[in-house]
């Protein structure tokens, strides 16, 4: 039937007589540099796409010399050929084409796939309407190749970020869709079809001529052609705008904008010092961090809980994997006192670079759910899943929404079960492990005068040490545990975990029992952060599917809060000016801030790093609550949480990507510990951006997770690495305390200091699918 970049397509007949399309792939999956298992995961994702407006993927065989994929055969002609032979589309035909194709994209994106090669030749016009084909293979092949990755797509229909070699998300498909609609209306590519350099220059720098498009389509197409990916509407929003027959796309739905993070930083709880866990001086109390691992075996961040008495806040950090189109190793990030900090797995993309169009961002409709870093080839099509409609203003009618729900699952509607309000001090202190710790000063006893005072010998010095495993391992995840966060519910310490199996699970830390599963994510969960708003324990999760979900841990119901343009690798939550905010980071280096009380995005999307955001934490610098971001670009940056602006100077001490951070305090001043691919742990001053002393060395592989804690009155730092060990450090001397402990067989994804029965303990998670609790002792 034809040839393409990925292989040759044949027409065939199945055993039941059904006609099918068979694509023989050029790439063998048994050669070096190919991850066959990852390829099959992408194929499986393509098969989940709903079958309305797409060609269903029927099966695949990846064994042997000729791997192939079988899909439904669509009897029709391509849009490219149709326009060339019959001329441009007009009136209702053009409008139906726009509605049908964007519905297909909404279903594709909902399944966690990016088409990556949407163009006129990949739209077939059948007797029952337009069908989008060839989605899935490009992404599958790209994500399976672990050695190198090229730019996939057709230049005349590629987005600026795709041309520049950055990670391509659903927003890239919307740019290609707009160019395809322009071609359908005019009969020619919007940016020409002459020399390749000329076409690329126009895509990157010029605006398309849309004068030939009807008014009811022109404004929508123009919004999709924004040079900045974060300003384009999602496929779902574009569909709604088309159905409403309105030119402008609706304003961004605040309801869709919140992605939460790996840590929660809370104001110091008003608890008597003797019982309240403290955060490092100037930093909020510790919050439970989250841990995550990437699909390729990355690690997740552990959640740390504040230690008893002056327990420093812990930030479990998980570093993302360093390979693969998808988030690589998971980063164990320490979560703030109430919210575990998820670990973003950095997507290692050789082509990733800063966005070429740093112009001001404009408000626009919410973006589509972000898909995993790789993109899927257009060969797979499926019917859009029935869309659960998002609450938005101006929907045509309830009846229309119900009709749409039957054809494409685009959004999820969940009752607003969550409560807003201030977290209770007691619950806050228990919830987060990632927060910085402030040792609680011990009052000096007043000596009672006696005729002959007897000198009192100084108390024996406490020497912290890693103890043995406390109880049995927590088992239940079928793949690596990527993130963990701690929170107290009804007086019990609970752990919320996320894994590569797409599951979010609740555990009782004391009796080591599984409690419940939270269902919603379709793919790997990279970040989980817990917090208590009012009296309601909650958790926020983000992952490979680009969604950010909010969970009520009492009712165990969830709601999709919003989407990023790519996988969400990190989230953190904190309280500033009496309000709870969340910050989320993705594989494209973008940050989003969210007002949790209003449940809407606060301010604009921010370009934080030139490559993926691997970790996020929240702490205090003086009276200012700041978020700390770590990137694959080797830098760490501070952000004023309330103002959503850069603060202070970036830290540039690392020589490779940064995967983990913990915020704490030494001698009353805030400090940040960071680790990454250079296998070193560095301490630095968030006020000056300068290093404190020499780096700590010892780990043989990536430092994926860090967490501050307190043993007695002594501040300690716990680290976890992909070498499978955890280590204990004295941050003052920057020397190890005792020997390393082999915590997990295939790598530690998370470490977090928590308080169990009034004593400090450590939570770890790993690639071996298990969560463990460890004693942290002083001898």
**Residues annotated catalytic, as ranges:** 117
HEC-encoded secondary structure of 330-357? CEEECCEECCCCCCCCCCCCCCCCCCCC
Dihedral over alpha carbons 304, 307, 310, 315 (to 10 degrees): -10
Using only the alpha carbons of the chain, give its radius of gyration: 26
Report helix, strand or coil for 237. Answer: helix
Residue 147's nearest CA partner among 291, 1, 263, 35 is: 35
Residue 74's nearest CA partner among 147, 117, 6, 11 is: 11
Alpha-helical segments (H) within 560-681 = none
Report helix, strand or coil for 106. Answer: helix
The Cα 570–Cα 169 span in angstroms is 17
Q: Does residue 523 contact residue 45 with C-beta atoms inside 8 Å?
A: yes
Q: Which residues pair with 22 in a beta bridge?
A: 10, 70
Q: What is the DSSP letter of 229?
A: G
Q: Does residue 132 contact residue 54 with C-beta atoms inside 8 Å?
A: yes
Residue 571's nearest CA partner among 366, 390, 334, 364 is: 334
Q: Does residue 287 contact residue 431 with C-beta atoms inside 8 Å?
A: yes
The Cα 753–Cα 266 span in angstroms is 17
Report helix, strand or coil for 398. Answer: helix
Q: Does residue 744 contact residue 724 with C-beta atoms inside 8 Å?
A: yes
The Cα 5–Cα 155 span in angstroms is 14
CA distances from 43 to 25, 48, 503, 519 (A): 13, 9, 20, 22
Altogether, the residues listed in the chain come to a count of 779
Instruction: Locate 615 and state its tokens.
Output: 């970790």
Residue 162's nearest CA partner among 369, 352, 368, 380 is: 352
The Cα 297–Cα 482 span in angstroms is 9
The Cα 211–Cα 202 span in angstroms is 17
**Concatenated DSSP letters for 32-70?**
TTB-HHHHHHHHHHHHTSBSTTBPPEEEEE--SSS-EEE
| Residue found under tokens 């043995």 | 468
HEC-encoded secondary structure of 446-506? CCCCCCCCCCCCCCCCCCEEEEEECCCCEECCCCCEEEEEEEEECCEEEEEEEECCCCEEE
How many other CB atoms sit within 10 Å of the CB of residue 442? Answer: 12
Report helix, strand or coil for 124. Answer: strand
In Å, how far from its chain's centre is CA 388? Answer: 22
Instruction: Locate 507 and state its tokens.
Output: 């555990």
The Cα 282–Cα 390 span in angstroms is 40
The Cα 724–Cα 146 span in angstroms is 22
The Cα 446–Cα 444 span in angstroms is 6
The Cα 70–Cα 49 span in angstroms is 15
132: burial class by Cβ within 10 Å (0-12, 13-18, 19+)? buried
Residue 258 phi, psi (nearest 5): -100, 120
How many other CB atoms sit within 10 Å of the CB of residue 179? Answer: 26
């Amino acid at each position: 039937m034809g040839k393409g970049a990925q292989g040759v397509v044949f027409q065939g007949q199945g055993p039941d007589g059904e006609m099918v399309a068979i694509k023989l792939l050029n790439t063998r999956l048994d050669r070096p540099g190919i991850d066959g298992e990852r390829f099959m995961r992408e194929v499986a994702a393509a098969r989940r796409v709903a079958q309305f407006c797409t060609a269903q993927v029927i099966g695949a065989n990846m064994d042997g010399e000729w791997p192939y994929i079988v899909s439904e055969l669509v009897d029709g002609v391509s849009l490219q050929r149709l326009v060339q032979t019959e001329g441009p589309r007009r009136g209702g035909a053009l409008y139906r084409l726009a509605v049908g194709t964007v519905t297909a994209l909404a279903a594709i994106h909902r399944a966690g796939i990016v088409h990556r090669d949407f163009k006129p030749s990949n739209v077939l016009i059948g007797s029952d309407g337009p069908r989008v084909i060839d989605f899935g293979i490009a992404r599958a092949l790209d994500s399976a190749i672990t050695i190198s990755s090229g730019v996939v797509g057709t230049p005349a229909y590629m987005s600026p970020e795709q041309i520049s070699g950055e990670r391509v998300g659903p927003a890239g498909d919307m740019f290609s869709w707009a160019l395809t609609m322009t071609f359908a209306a005019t009969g020619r590519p919007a940016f020409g079809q002459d020399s390749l350099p000329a076409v690329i220059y126009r895509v990157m720098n010029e605006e398309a001529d849309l004068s030939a498009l009807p008014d009811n389509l022109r404004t929508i197409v123009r919004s999709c052609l924004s040079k900045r990916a974060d300003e384009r509407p999602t496929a779902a929003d574009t569909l709604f705008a088309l159905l409403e027959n309105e030119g402008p796309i609706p304003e961004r739905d605040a309801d869709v904008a919140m992605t939460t993070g790996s840590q929660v930083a809370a104001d110091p709880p008003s608890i008597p010092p003797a019982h309240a866990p403290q955060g490092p001086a100037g930093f909020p109390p510790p919050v439970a961090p989250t841990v995550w691992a990437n699909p390729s075996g990355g690690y997740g961040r552990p959640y740390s809980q504040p230690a008893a008495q002056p327990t420093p806040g812990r930030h479990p950090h998980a570093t993302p994997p360093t390979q693969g189109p998808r988030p690589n190793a998971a980063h164990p990030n320490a979560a703030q006192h109430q919210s575990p900090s998820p670990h973003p797995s950095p997507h290692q993309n050789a082509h990733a670079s800063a966005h070429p169009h740093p112009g001001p961002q404009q408000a626009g409709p919410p973006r589509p759910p972000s898909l995993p870093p790789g993109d899927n080839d257009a060969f797979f099509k499926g019917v859009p899943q029935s869309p659960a409609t998002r609450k938005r203003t101006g929907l045509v009618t309830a009846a229309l929404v119900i009709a749409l729900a039957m054809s494409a699952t685009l959004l999820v509607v969940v009752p607003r079960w969550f409560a807003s309000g201030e977290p209770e001090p007691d619950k806050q202190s228990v919830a987060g492990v990632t927060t910085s710790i402030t040792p609680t000063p011990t009052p000096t006893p007043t000596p009672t005068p006696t005729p002959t005072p007897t000198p009192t010998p100084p108390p024996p010095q406490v020497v912290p040490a890693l103890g043995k495993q406390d109880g049995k391992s927590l088992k239940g995840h079928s793949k690596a545990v990527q993130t963990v966060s701690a929170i107290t519910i009804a007086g019990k310490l609970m752990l919320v975990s996320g894994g590569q199996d797409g599951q979010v699970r609740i555990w009782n830390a004391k009796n080591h029992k599984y409690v419940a599963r939270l269902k919603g994510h379709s793919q790997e969960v990279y970040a989980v952060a817990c917090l208590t708003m009012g009296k309601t324990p909650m958790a926020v999760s983000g992952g490979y599917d680009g969604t950010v979900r909010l969970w009520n841990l009492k009712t165990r119901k969830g709601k999709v809060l919003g989407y990023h343009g790519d996988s969400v690798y990190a989230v953190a939550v904190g309280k500033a000016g009496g309000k709870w905010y969340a910050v989320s980071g993705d594989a494209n280096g973008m940050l989003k801030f969210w007002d949790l009380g209003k449940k809407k995005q606060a301010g604009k999307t921010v370009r934080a790093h030139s490559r993926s955001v691997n970790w996020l934490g929240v702490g205090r610098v003086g009276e200012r609550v700041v978020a700390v971001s770590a990137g694959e670009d080797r830098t760490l940056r501070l952000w004023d949480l309330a103002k959503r602006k850069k603060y202070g100077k970036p830290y540039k001490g690392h020589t490779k990507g940064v995967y983990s951070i913990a915020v704490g305090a030494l001698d009353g001043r805030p400090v940040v510990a960071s680790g990454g691919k250079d296998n070193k742990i560095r301490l630095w001053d968030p006020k000056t951006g300068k290093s404190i002393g020499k780096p700590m060395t010892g780990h043989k592989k990536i430092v994926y997770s860090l967490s501050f804690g307190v043993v007695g009155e002594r501040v300690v730092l716990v680290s976890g690495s992909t070498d499978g060990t955890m280590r204990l450090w004295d941050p003052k001397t920057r020397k190890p305390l005792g020997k390393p402990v082999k915590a997990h067989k295939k790598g530690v994804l998370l470490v977090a200091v928590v308080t169990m029965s009034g004593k400090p303990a450590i939570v770890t998670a790993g690639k071996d699918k298990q969560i463990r609790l460890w004693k942290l002792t002083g001898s």
